[in-house]
Amino acid sequence: MKLWEKSTKVNQEIERFTVGKDREMDLYLAPYDVLGSIAHITMLESIGLLTKDELKELVAALKEIYKQIEDGNFVIEDGIEDVHSQVELMLTRKLGDVGKKIHSGRSRNDQVLVDLKLFMRDRIRIIAGLTKDLFDTLIAQSERYKKVLMPGYTHLQIAMPSSFGLWFGAYAESLVDDLVVMQSAYKVVNRNPLGSAAGYGSSFPLKREMTTKLLGFDSMAYNVVYAQMGRGKTERIVSSAIASIAATLSKLAFDACMFSSQNFGFIKLHDAFTTGSSIMPHKKNPDVFELTRAKCNKIQSVPQQIMMIANNLPSGYFRDLQIIKEVFLPVFDEIEDCLKMVNLMMEHIEVNQHILENNKYDLIFSVEEVNRLASEGMPFRDAYKKVGLDIEAGCFECDKNVNHTHEGSIGNLCNENIAALMNNVINDFDFNKAIEAEKKLTE
């Protein structure tokens, strides 16, 4: 069944090629297609295109379909083109001609647009929650190990004293900025395209403000042409925000792989969280972090893929946009999985509390000695030269007591401030408005 099919049967090879993976991808969108349809038909009744009895029948049937989706019993049948066709077919089987009325005043174009927006809105909420979970773990570990020193590196050469408080806390604060970017993407997502139809509106007197409120959007996408132009652009913006989180996770994963190797020995991964070798009995491999690094690097390529698909398209709808689903929708599963696994690993990580007892790290305290001499009145450049010459002569003696007190340093991590920033970002999303709107549609 195809919503657009008339008297001519489409060639099977053409059908295979044009449908592609749409049926598979549309399973991501199924619950949101039902939500959009309930809002749309509620509006249709208000302008006289459905009777109250027809609306009551349709809403009841759509709620049954929504329950099937939630229970995992919904399928897009063989020969059915997409989720929109499947839902309409199920309604028509149950209600007859009344089921065919739900498409008045809309196109599959704005139907898939609203499905995608509702999907993105819901999954951004999940990603934000998982990011906050990892943030909390990192802040807790930063506080737990804030007095444990470790080497800091530049150019992968030992540089200055750092601490595990700084290391864990740095990635926590990075996640704050990542969610600031995600919040901006959420604002782009949370605008209603329903009623733009095929991109040029409708001669029906649609109440777009009504569906905007019913679906819990912040506003509508006002211009109907731009509402359609947002397809592809919105996915690129959201995938860029996801890629920002992925970049943080990838860097953290690289550190964890490196720091857990025997040549560093800064951290230890729990044996239950490592894998082994088929030939070397001593091996304990950080496969979770290696896979995280690879998955997150792949995620960071998605905005580029979307840009290359949509980059040279003029205004209006084109079938090219269908392909974006294939690279975009699975990204949410991947980033959520990575966030969960990294959080689990970070919760159980073991820290080496005696790293700097090894004298190979003594030179990282050279800056501390330069600063001490400068504090006693010696010009900084002279102090720098003296310590440098002592190092060259092999007579440098270090003091391993570190006294950093300024904001954000070893002795003053500002974790409370970072946590306050994160809480402000999370609260500013205002997810409750969308949650309550969707709940009312399905009650």
Asked if pLDDT for residue 2 goes beyond 60, the answer is no
Q: Which of 71, 61, 4, 7 is nearest to 38 (CA)?
A: 61
Mean pLDDT of 198-208: 95
Q: What are phi and psi of 431, to 5 degrees?
A: -70, -25
Q: What is the mean pLDDT of residues 65-77?
A: 95
The yes/no answer on whether domain 116-149+162-195+222-356+418-442 falls in CATH 3.20.20.70 is no
What pLDDT score was predicted for residue 300? 97
Output the pLDDT for position 81.
83
Domain boundaries, the chain: 12-103, 116-149+162-195+222-356+418-442, 359-393
Question: In the predicted model, what is the mean pLDDT of residues 378-386?
Answer: 95
Closest CA to 62 of 38, 40, 83, 78: 38
- The whole-number pLDDT of residue 274 equals 74
Could you give the residue ranges of the DSSP H alpha helices within 108-207?
A: 108-144, 164-189
Q: How far apart are CA 412 and CA 437, in angstroms?
A: 43
**What per-residue confidence (pLDDT) applies to 395?**
93
**Residue 193 contacts residue 117 (beta carbons within 8 Å):** yes
Q: What is the DSSP letter of 103?
A: G
Virtual CA dihedral for 101, 104, 109, 113, nearest 10 degrees?
Answer: -80
* CA–CA separation, 369 and 160 (whole Å): 11
* Cα–Cα distance measured from residue 87 to residue 300, given in angstroms and rounded to the nearest whole number: 34
pLDDT tens-digit series, residues 256-313: 999 999 999 999 988 777 777 667 777 788 889 999 999 999 999 999 999 999 988 8
In this structure, are strands 157-163 and 191-192 parallel, antiparallel, or unpaired? unpaired
Tokens of 271: 């044996």
Common-topology check for domains 12-103 and 116-149+162-195+222-356+418-442: no
Residue 195: pLDDT band (50, 70, 90) is very high
Phi-psi region of 267 (alpha: psi -120 to 50; beta: other; left: phi over 0): beta
State the DSSP H helix or E strand holding residue 267, giving kind and residue range, or none if neither.
Answer: strand 267-268
Sign of CA dihedral 41, 42, 47, 53: positive
Mean pLDDT for all residues in the chain? 93
- How many angstroms separate the CA atoms of 266 and 268, rounded? 7
Size of the chain in residues: 443
Model pLDDT, residue 141: 98
Q: What is the pLDDT of residue 4?
A: 44
- Residue-wise pLDDT for 394-435, tens only, equals 999 988 989 899 999 999 999 999 999 999 999 999 999 999
As annotated, the active-site residues are: 155, 277
Mean of pLDDT values over 84-93: 95
* pLDDT at 137 exceeding the cut of 50: yes
How does pLDDT run across 4-51, given as a tens digit for each residue?
455 566 667 776 676 667 778 899 999 999 999 999 999 999 999 999
* Lowest mean pLDDT across 15-19, 117-121, 139-143, 191-195: 15-19
How confident is the model over 174-188, as a mean pLDDT? 98
Report the predicted TM-score, pTM, of the whole model to 2 decimal places. 0.92
Specify the pLDDT at position 420: 98
φ and ψ at residue 44, rounded to 5 degrees? -60, -40
Q: Right CATH number for 12-103 from 2.102.10.10, 1.10.275.10, 1.10.150.120, 1.20.1250.20?
A: 1.10.275.10
d(CA 195, CA 199): 9
pLDDT of residue 255: 96
Rounded CA gap, 155 and 86, in Å?
A: 57
- CA angle 381/383/389 to nearest 5° reads 105
**Residue showing tokens 């809002």:** 39
Q: Tell me, what's the pLDDT at 128?
A: 98
Q: Average pLDDT, stretch 62-77? A: 96
Residue located via tokens 């991964």:
269
Task: Please count the other Cβ atoms lying within 10 Å of the Cβ belonging to residue 165.
Answer: 25
Q: Is the pLDDT of residue 220 over 80?
A: yes
